[in-house]
Each structure stands twice: as structure tokens, then as C-alpha cells.
Amino acid sequence: QLQLVESGGGSVQPGGSLRLSCAASGRRISSYAMAWFRQAPGKEREFVAAITWSGGSTYYADSVKGRFTISRDNAENTAWLQMNSLRSDDTSVYYCAAGAGVRIRNLAEYTTWGQGTQVTVSS
């Protein structure tokens, strides 16, 4: 059974950077699309970024395009989200997810989720 564990969250000032990691265990992620979603208090969970199983294609929410970069290393069984130029509205719990990748931006597509890591952007 695939399990995902996020790490790398924390508190940062506006304009700062963080790198989130998603370490997988139990199964190889090489056959899964990987994605990051986020959820702020009182809001629905929203798509942030996704990457196909091979890493050949990436997808981003408009709100993070040009600031965030998703990547993966199937040999290390890990995915990452590099977040630059962070803003206060990026404050959320960030979740890593694995799925078949057909509707790659769709939350319902993902069957395995991590526990989440808190990112707080504040001065």
C-alpha cells in the first residue's frame, strides 16, 4: 500500500522560499501522477501543481504559475514542490497526492494522500 509523507513546511516571510518534500513508501510512485493540493482554513482543498508519471509534463494553478515548481525522482520515490516568492495567500496546509493522472487537476482523481504540512507566510 502506497503511503505518502510530506515535510518541509514552516513559517516564512513574504517573498521567501520553501521546498516541500513528499516521500513515498510501500509502493513505487513511478506509475502514478503526483500532485500538490492545499487547503486554507474555511476553504475547499484546491489544486496547486501536478506532474505526470514520467515527469514529462507539469501543470500549475494560475495562482502559483511562475513561482512554484513541481518535480519528482522516481528512483528516490520522492516528489517536491519548490515554492518561491511566497505570498500571504499561499498560507495553507499542503497535501501531496498520488493518482492515475487522467484528470490531473481534479482532486477526485487522487487515491492516496499524505497527512499535510503547514505553510505560513507572514511578516
List per-residue pLDDT tens for the chain, 123 residues long.
999 999 999 999 999 999 999 999 999 999 999 999 999 999 999 999 999 999 899 999 999 999 999 999 999 999 999 999 999 999 999 999 999 888 899 999 999 999 999 999 999
Q: Show the CA angle centred on residue 122, arms to residues 39 and 59, nearest 5°.
A: 40
3-class state of residue 108 by DSSP: helix
Question: Are the C-beta atoms of 99 and 80 separated by less than 8 Å?
Answer: no
Give the whole-angstrom CA distance, residue 110 versus residue 96. 10
Question: Are the C-beta atoms of 117 and 7 separated by less than 8 Å?
Answer: yes
pLDDT tens for each residue of 56-75 = 999 999 999 999 999 999 99
Beta bridge partners of 39: 93
Q: Show the CA angle centred on residue 115, arms to residues 113 and 119, nearest 5°.
A: 115
Look at residue 102 in the predicted model and tell me its pLDDT.
84
Beta bridge partners of 53: none
Look at residue 101 in the predicted model and tell me its pLDDT.
80
